[in-house]
Structure 1
Amino acid sequence: MQSKIVELKHKAKLFNQLRLDRALSIMDDNGREVTAILPLLLHCNHPNLPVYLDAPVPQGICLFTPDEQQQDYLTSLNVALDDDKCATCSPIYSLYAMGSTGSIGQNWRSDLDIWVCHDPAMSDEDAQFLEQKCTLITAWAETLNVEVNFFLIAEDKFRKVNNAVMTKESCGSAQHFLLLDEFYRSALRIAGKPSLWHILPVEFDNHYDDYVDQLVADGVLDRNEWVDLGGFPCIPAEEYFGSALWQLYKGIDSPYKAVLKTLLMEAYSAEYPNNHLLSQIMKENFQLASSQHLELSHDTYYQILVKVTAYLENIGDTARLDLLRRCFYLKMFSGNCANEKHASPEWHRTSVADVIREWGWHPDRIAHLDNRDNWKIEQVQEAHPELLDAMMKGYRNLIGFARRNNISESINPADIGILSRKLYAAFESLPGKVTFINPQISPDLSEKQLSFVQVPDGRFNNSGWYLYNSSLEPMQIVGRKPLEHNGYLSKLVAWSYFNGLMTDKTQVEIFNQDSDMNSDVLNSFCKDLKNKFPIQAKPASNQALSRPCEIRDLSIFLNLEYDPTNHWGGRIIEFDTNTSDVFSFGDCKACLVGSIDLIYRNSWNEVRTLHFSGQERIVDALTTIMGKMHQDATEPDSIKVFCYSLHFRGLIRHSFERLVRDCISTRLQRDKDQIVKMLTISDDRFGIYFERRGVSIRKLETSLDLYNHISERKLEQMPLRIDKTTTAEGTPLAVESHSSEGLVQFFFENYKNGFNVYIVDEANRVETYQHLSGNKDELIKGVHRFYTNSQEESRNEGTFANFNLPQFYDIVHSENKELEVIPYVSSK
């Protein structure tokens, strides 16, 4: 057995070097430089190196000795290494690249995902220093246009309960053994100890730890020479739900890769409980290989293709099989496939040709995919829904798998909440929401010309606005299919801007048939929108996603489509200082606000649009804005009002902005029971009632209505107050303050022998369940199963999934003894 292990050890070293050579051959010069220098930066913390942390950061990689190129680099910087750092007892055991690196799925833009395997005895403080050093290396690599992501992995990580924290790149509790499966099937050693799992015979995987202990006891193995993350005979079925959410989340930015990964999870679930994991297949192929050359059977991305192809052929899903192949083809290249084919190394060109030959593709199909860098909106509108539908179908199939097997998820409630919010913000299609349709599908959707055409009521086509990527010349627009349609103009302009169709070089035209819009107003609006909102915004933080969404940047556009002052003509409008209220202007008491368009970006990074032009447009707009703000929300970072009136533009803008800011300030004012404000619009008067649970606006028919309504509200409110923290109904004020429309929220109030639960529905109605006992984690899992199963049943024939899952919170006492709400954290 010892000779067998020695043979596999040498074979693993050879295959690793062959894969590393392949990885380097695809990278550009900067990628190769980063890969070569990276081990030096973690092996040594020296001020002469490009990355240095002035702190006692753990340094030294086990068994690492610089090669000739690396040594020359150190010499040029006058850096001498401590020979002791290459021993087997260094704190950093190994550096491994995982994912597509060294496979047919790698392209020159592929990022580097590096596992830093370290001593499990490393203190939390040392691990934080090492994390900081890795962050600095990531920033340095970015200056060379190379993306490097680091993941600190303690050697005993997969032998313990998974309490990892989820970040943009780290899956947290969403995956555990599925993550280890991905590592084992794709691990490429950059420096340090080799992986023990890969060189132990496959037949011993089912009792891996016992076998390792026996080899160590027999003197065949020295543990200090290896990094051992442990074995796993199968993937716990509980992981599939969290993994499906995680892969969908990755699909927000990388849909082609996410389709591959989601389909793989679905194929795995179809084999359950008799899974044949890709890591096991790769290990078998490696150990049984008779030649010393890499073949497609040793390529991790090709094996994903083989596995998923077999699954889709077995269930007869030819549509997704075709999509799988296109996703795989596009994953092999970063964009301009034709150019990259000529520039790629011979092994990559040969492998790609072999794969395409198996598919029997027509040259026209290849040419279309090769032209992806030049795809425009028509091609993206065709590709985006197909990718989304495929991911959602895979997600629903995994939900069905969990339901059929009565499986609860292993992902913790906090991570479910964050992931579901990210998916809700990215994928949920809602009226007025701007859908981002180009997640790395094409690099440039800009258009030379965009035209907005209005169709009034009573015509053959639906009324509203239509967007075309052409001029209004009849030869260009007649017979052309519109890109988008909406009832109001601001949604189409926002959609074209945030999706990159409208740039500073785009010429916009308008054909208006039922509004006060003209070319000057349209161009002003487009300019204001571009100046106010950057297309890219900082990603929503996990903290923001664990709370109800709040308006962050609010822009209000007045009289964009309808301007009352535009119809005055030669009329004389009489007014004085007593009748200059823009909401009841002049002797005729005209409201000078004809239409209101809202565009805002919220704390979940969604862009929403709304339009108001009815009789009570101001009331409706104020009610909507206030409804987006719970009592304890923070004030928007920016509030900007624009006005496009022909007359009194500044007066209207300032008056409306003052009204909005006053209402927002009052809504967010702390420690108030009830505040009432009066608002006169034309001949009508309204009372705006600010209370903890929301804002209501009521039309007052007579002067007595205001006092009657206040009296009614007082009678309702007076007996409800028991103390400063609880209502008579037993609902803590912290719950009322945190309630947010459109969400289902669970609040846990803990006491010595149990807990109370307050459930707030989408309409802010509260149900209270008191004196409960038992396991809250199990209760939450049951709630999630109910929601996902009911969605599966109600949407069985649909093409989408609802990610508006319930949110869970704990009510705790702050340091000053006041009640506050924090995101629920599992006790496990």
Structure 2
Amino acid sequence: MYLYIETLKQRLDAINQLRTDRATAAMGAAFRHIYSLLPVLLHYHHPDMPGYLSHNTPHGISFFTPDETQQALLETLFPDNAHKQLIPPPDNAPILGLYSMGSTSSIGQSSDSDLDIWVCHQSWLDGAERQALKNKCHQLQIWCKKQGVEISFFLIDENRFRMNESGALGKEDCGSTQHILLLDEFYRSAVRLAGKHILWNLVPSEQEAHYDEYVMELYAKGALVPNEWIDLGGLGTLSAEEYFGASLWQLYKSIDSPYKAVLKTVLLEAYSWEYPNTRLLATEIKQCLHEGDIIHFGLDPYCMMLERVTAYLEAINDAARLDLVRRCFYLKVSEKLTSGSSDEPSPWRREILAQLVARWGWESERLTQLDGRAHWKIEQVRVAHNELLDAMMQSYRNLIRFARRNNLSVSASPQDIGVLTRKLYAAFEALPGKVALLNPQISPDLSEDHLTFIYVAEGRANRRGWYLYNQAPEMNAIISHQPLEYNRYLNKLVAWAWFNGLLTEKTHLHIKGTSLCDLPRLQELVQDIATHFPIRLAAPTPKALYSPCEIRHLALMVNIESDPTQALRDQVVLFDFRKMDVFSFGQQQQCLIGSVDLLYRNSWNEVRTLHFEGESAMIEALKTILGKMHQEALPPESVDVFCYSPHLRALIRTRVLQLVSECIDLRLSSNRQETGRFKALKLASDTWGLFFERMGVSVQKLKNAVEFYGAISNNKLQGLSIQMDSKQANLPTVVKNYASEGIIQFFFEDHPPAESFSIYVLDEHNHAEVYQHCEGSKEELMRDVCRFYSSSHDRLTFGTSSINFNLPQFYQVVEHQGRSKIINFHSPSQDEVTERVSPQLGQNILPRSPYRP
């Protein structure tokens, strides 16, 4: 047994050295420098070293001694041999090991790949020590980025996977969406930079189900030296419930890494296809290690993932996705076979890829097309985007069906599922007026030299509206090309071109076919959008995604396509200068607002456009804006009004901005609790009333004084802008204040000491249902509702497929300092002792249709 263990250790060291060499071979000097220096920076802690915060920060890696290369790097940090005075950490080092994982060292690593580093630490670190170590890693991350290397640190408690704990969901951390599947990826791809060997590699695959017993036996027989190994646990406890959360996570990751995400999502699908006899890829790689079959692509985890996915897709005769997977693999490797021989020090990646391409039978034309991805323009990117998204959605649907067939629930926490579905909803859901963003990772530059906007009027062969071409307006060129995009309104088309990167400051603009908008007006519109709406913003925080979306940046474009002031040209207009009202102008009481286009970005980073036209355009635009603001929302960070009229432009802009700002203030004012707030607005010869209530804003046309005062009186008496069933109890004020259109909201209110609670449900239109005297598990209710919505509602449409990501949001009404407030509903943590009440929920615990299948 001892000799067998020693043989395995030698093989592990050989594989680790091979992966270390591969990780650094084709990378730049900065990457090699940091990759080698990381163990030193976490082993020692000194004010002159990067990452230093305070003297009591945990540091020190088990069994680590700097080698010659690392000693030389230390000398660059400490001139005059000052590094020799560094105090060695204590023997019982807090850090058990340092490991890179993911694509690093595999064929999937490219020159722009980032680093994922696991810092595995002792379980005895307390909360303050863990936070100090986390802060140190954050400072090192900032320092590495300044050196040109993107790096993410993950603090891993040695007992994390045994205790089924998870990190905080973030841009890189999958949170609770993956558990054993995350460990599977770590085991198959880990490279030990410093610290202990990974014990899991020693346990034969056939003993995985009895992992702990086998390890104890090894220690009992003296085959293992105590404290020499890090033991994160076995893979025998894989729960099929992980697949749903993991597929959501990969779908989210596809926003930034589409080619890698397709491979990993189809791998999840292959795992589910083998259920319940799933053989994880890490276990297969370990089997090769035990059998000495290391020649197999050097046990490259990406190559073996491709083999597993290929076998699955061939078994189900899915030739289309197999071809896509191969293209994704080729593009992820980012090694251009058409560029001639490689001068890199280690050409192994190119050799493997050439073997695979020859096996696939690809022609040179296909290689040329793929190698030219950096020069793809909108037509090719749109095809690739739709193809990638369709493949991801198909895998997602297959995993949903798998979960339904096997009656599986979701293992991820409701909070993490809620945040992920919000991210996906914001990125993928197709809605009227929403600017669809093509994946920016497919091609780096979609800019066009020429963009031509052509308007087709009513009664022509083509439908009325605007057509966009990436050609100069020579008719022969236009006729022979399909338009890039169509929309009925110009603002949406310009926004689409801007946010997808086609429109830049170097683009030559052309406009044809209409007198509604000339070239100077178009250029002005483009400049206004470009100045006030940056293309890229920081990703929304989990807190923002778990809350109702709020308008962050709002712009109103007035009179782009319909401009009543054009009629004022060369005319003598009689009006009272002291009563110059752009909404009811002159003796003719003419409204000078002919069209209003909205462009806004919300707190989920969605970009929306809307168009309103005619004399009521202003009131309709106001109602729409205010309806998207719940009363507890923060005001927009910016509100801009742009007017494109040749006459009275400044006056129109100022007056509209004043009106919009006043109405937003009325909607969001938290210190005005009276229910009868209203604003009267005269448009042309009509008077309109806007009624501001807790749950929304209603609009009513008021024809005479009796009707006007009657509407105010009724509104005060009713107190709500919607009708509720007379048999239902009134909603608490705090719930009314939190009502938000567009999402489904569940509010729980406890009633101690009776152990019962009430549920207030607001649908997407703020229609309310109330359920009293409920008993049972709120967490189970939440899971059931989320599961139903994830699999039953058809809201996202791409071709023939549809997926819903607009899952309900859950809140708790609590008392704080004598006042009711709303907080996100959190399920009980693992270490809390909760008393389960009767499993039978109250008679009305689940809402009627549409909430119940």
TM over 0.5: yes
Task: Choose 39-48 or 182-191, whichever is displaced more.
Answer: 39-48
Per the alignment, residue 221 of structure 1 pairs with: 224
Residues 335 and 372 of structure 1 are in contact (CA less than 8 Å); yes or no, is this contact kept in structure 2? no
Name the CA distance, whole Å, in 2 between partners of 1:518 and 1:533.
Answer: 22
- Trace 1:456-475 onto structure 2 (pairs within 5 A): 456-475=457-476
Name the CA distance, whole Å, in 1 between partners of 2:362 and 2:337.
Answer: 18
Are 1:638 and 2:638 counterparts?
Answer: yes
Per-residue deviation, residues 90-135 of structure 1 (Å, max 9, x unmatched): 0001111111111111111111100000001111111111111111
- Trace 1:33-52 onto structure 2 (pairs within 5 A): 33-52=33-52
Residues 188 and 282 of structure 2 are in contact (CA less than 8 Å); yes or no, is this contact kept in structure 1? yes
Residues 466 and 487 of structure 2 are in contact (CA less than 8 Å); yes or no, is this contact kept in structure 1? yes
Per the alignment, residue 423 of structure 2 pairs with: 422
How much does 1:707 deviate?
0.7
Residues 719 and 728 of structure 1 are in contact (CA less than 8 Å); yes or no, is this contact kept in structure 2? no
Per-residue deviation, residues 448-490 of structure 1 (Å, max 9, x unmatched): 1111111111111111101111111123212211110001001
Equivalent position amino acid for 1:570 in 2: D
User: The residue matched to 1:224 in structure 2 has which SS?
Assistant: coil
Are 1:127 and 2:130 counterparts?
Answer: yes
Are 1:780 and 2:782 counterparts?
Answer: yes
- Trace 1:459-498 onto structure 2 (pairs within 5 A): 459-498=460-499
Per the alignment, residue 409 of structure 1 pairs with: 410
Per the alignment, residue 577 of structure 2 pairs with: 577
Per the alignment, residue 530 of structure 1 pairs with: 530
From 217, 234, 238, the counterpart of 1:235 = 238
Per the alignment, residue 435 of structure 1 pairs with: 436
How much does 1:75 deviate?
2.6
Per-residue deviation, residues 275-332 of structure 1 (Å, max 9, x unmatched): 01101001011121256xx531601001111111111111111111110000010010
Residues 335 and 350 of structure 2 are in contact (CA less than 8 Å); yes or no, is this contact kept in structure 1? no
Name the CA distance, whole Å, in 1 between partners of 2:507 and 2:797.
Answer: 40
Per the alignment, residue 716 of structure 1 pairs with: 718
- Trace 1:126-525 onto structure 2 (pairs within 5 A): 126-289=129-292, 294-296=295-297, 298-333=299-334, 338=339, 343=344, 345-513=346-514, 515-525=515-525
Call closer, same or farther: CA 1:770–1:506 in 2, change over 3 Å: same
Equivalent position amino acid for 1:364 in 2: E
Name the CA distance, whole Å, in 2 between partners of 1:340 and 1:570.
Answer: 72
Per the alignment, residue 724 of structure 1 pairs with: none
Name the CA distance, whole Å, in 2 between partners of 1:792 and 1:437.
Answer: 22
Residues 263 and 325 of structure 2 are in contact (CA less than 8 Å); yes or no, is this contact kept in structure 1? yes
Call closer, same or farther: CA 1:490–1:792 in 2, change over 3 Å: closer
Call closer, same or farther: CA 1:639–1:36 in 2, change over 3 Å: same
Name the CA distance, whole Å, in 1 between partners of 2:93 and 2:778.
Answer: 42
Per the alignment, residue 567 of structure 1 pairs with: 567
| Higher relative contact order structure (alpha carbons within 8 Å, sequence separation ≥ 6) | 1
Call closer, same or farther: CA 1:312–1:386 in 2, change over 3 Å: same
Per the alignment, residue 850 of structure 2 pairs with: none
How much does 1:55 deviate?
4.7
Per the alignment, residue 683 of structure 2 pairs with: 681
Task: Choose 558-567 or 601-610, whichever is displaced more.
Answer: 558-567
How much does 1:217 deviate?
2.3
How much does 1:344 deviate?
6.9
Equivalent position amino acid for 1:203 in 2: E
How much does 1:712 deviate?
1.9
Per-residue deviation, residues 383-425 of structure 1 (Å, max 9, x unmatched): 0000000001111111111111110001111111100000000
- Structure 2 stretches lacking a partner, 5+ long: 830-853
Equivalent position amino acid for 2:97 in 1: S
Name the CA distance, whole Å, in 1 between partners of 2:259 and 2:676.
Answer: 53
Per the alignment, residue 740 of structure 1 pairs with: 740
Residues 50 and 139 of structure 2 are in contact (CA less than 8 Å); yes or no, is this contact kept in structure 1? no
Name the CA distance, whole Å, in 1 between partners of 2:271 and 2:87.
Answer: 46
Residues 396 and 792 of structure 1 are in contact (CA less than 8 Å); yes or no, is this contact kept in structure 2? no
User: The residue matched to 2:83 in structure 1 has which SS?
Assistant: coil
Residues 455 and 463 of structure 1 are in contact (CA less than 8 Å); yes or no, is this contact kept in structure 2? yes
Call closer, same or farther: CA 1:336–1:254 in 2, change over 3 Å: farther
Per the alignment, residue 707 of structure 1 pairs with: 709
Residues 676 and 692 of structure 2 are in contact (CA less than 8 Å); yes or no, is this contact kept in structure 1? yes
Equivalent position amino acid for 2:682 in 1: T
Q: How many residues align?
A: 818
Name the CA distance, whole Å, in 2 between partners of 1:107 and 1:140.
Answer: 21
Name the CA distance, whole Å, in 1 between partners of 2:190 and 2:171.
Answer: 21
How much does 1:143 deviate?
1.3
- Structure 1 stretches lacking a partner, 5+ long: 721-726
Per the alignment, residue 698 of structure 2 pairs with: 696
Call closer, same or farther: CA 1:487–1:330 in 2, change over 3 Å: same
Residues 626 and 695 of structure 1 are in contact (CA less than 8 Å); yes or no, is this contact kept in structure 2? yes
Per-residue deviation, residues 504-558 of structure 1 (Å, max 9, x unmatched): 1111111142x52111011111111111011111210111001000000111111
Per-residue deviation, residues 600-639 of structure 1 (Å, max 9, x unmatched): 1100011111111134111110000001100100100111
User: The residue matched to 2:89 in structure 1 has which SS?
Assistant: helix
Residues 554 and 636 of structure 2 are in contact (CA less than 8 Å); yes or no, is this contact kept in structure 1? yes
User: The residue matched to 1:208 in structure 2 has which SS?
Assistant: helix
How much does 1:208 deviate?
0.8
Identity %: 49
Name the CA distance, whole Å, in 2 between partners of 1:494 and 1:648.
Answer: 26
Call closer, same or farther: CA 1:564–1:334 in 2, change over 3 Å: farther
Equivalent position amino acid for 1:784 in 2: C
Per the alignment, residue 819 of structure 2 pairs with: 818
Residues 337 and 371 of structure 1 are in contact (CA less than 8 Å); yes or no, is this contact kept in structure 2? no
Call closer, same or farther: CA 1:808–1:793 in 2, change over 3 Å: closer
Equivalent position amino acid for 2:58 in 1: P
Are 1:59 and 2:59 counterparts?
Answer: yes
Call closer, same or farther: CA 1:281–1:619 in 2, change over 3 Å: same
- Trace 1:618-633 onto structure 2 (pairs within 5 A): 618-633=618-633
Call closer, same or farther: CA 1:120–1:275 in 2, change over 3 Å: same
Aligned Cα RMSD in Å? 2.1
Equivalent position amino acid for 2:679 in 1: K
Call closer, same or farther: CA 1:454–1:240 in 2, change over 3 Å: same
Task: Choose 196-205 or 700-709, whichever is displaced more.
Answer: 196-205
Call closer, same or farther: CA 1:337–1:685 in 2, change over 3 Å: farther
With structure 2 as the length reference, what TM-score do the two structures score?
Answer: 0.93
Name the CA distance, whole Å, in 2 between partners of 1:472 and 1:795.
Answer: 34
Residues 254 and 260 of structure 2 are in contact (CA less than 8 Å); yes or no, is this contact kept in structure 1? yes
Per the alignment, residue 723 of structure 1 pairs with: none
Equivalent position amino acid for 1:778 in 2: E
Residues 562 and 595 of structure 2 are in contact (CA less than 8 Å); yes or no, is this contact kept in structure 1? yes
Per the alignment, residue 84 of structure 2 pairs with: 80
Residues 62 and 85 of structure 1 are in contact (CA less than 8 Å); yes or no, is this contact kept in structure 2? no
User: The residue matched to 1:167 in structure 2 has which SS?
Assistant: coil
Residues 336 and 372 of structure 1 are in contact (CA less than 8 Å); yes or no, is this contact kept in structure 2? no
Residues 44 and 88 of structure 2 are in contact (CA less than 8 Å); yes or no, is this contact kept in structure 1? no
Per the alignment, residue 836 of structure 2 pairs with: none
Equivalent position amino acid for 2:669 in 1: Q
Name the CA distance, whole Å, in 1 between partners of 2:549 and 2:795.
Answer: 28
Residues 186 and 300 of structure 1 are in contact (CA less than 8 Å); yes or no, is this contact kept in structure 2? yes
Name the CA distance, whole Å, in 2 between partners of 1:728 and 1:675.
Answer: 25
Call closer, same or farther: CA 1:795–1:403 in 2, change over 3 Å: farther
Residues 693 and 720 of structure 2 are in contact (CA less than 8 Å); yes or no, is this contact kept in structure 1? no
Residues 399 and 792 of structure 1 are in contact (CA less than 8 Å); yes or no, is this contact kept in structure 2? no
Residues 337 and 369 of structure 1 are in contact (CA less than 8 Å); yes or no, is this contact kept in structure 2? no
Per the alignment, residue 844 of structure 2 pairs with: none
Residues 96 and 114 of structure 1 are in contact (CA less than 8 Å); yes or no, is this contact kept in structure 2? yes
Per the alignment, residue 757 of structure 2 pairs with: 755
User: The residue matched to 1:560 in structure 2 has which SS?
Assistant: coil
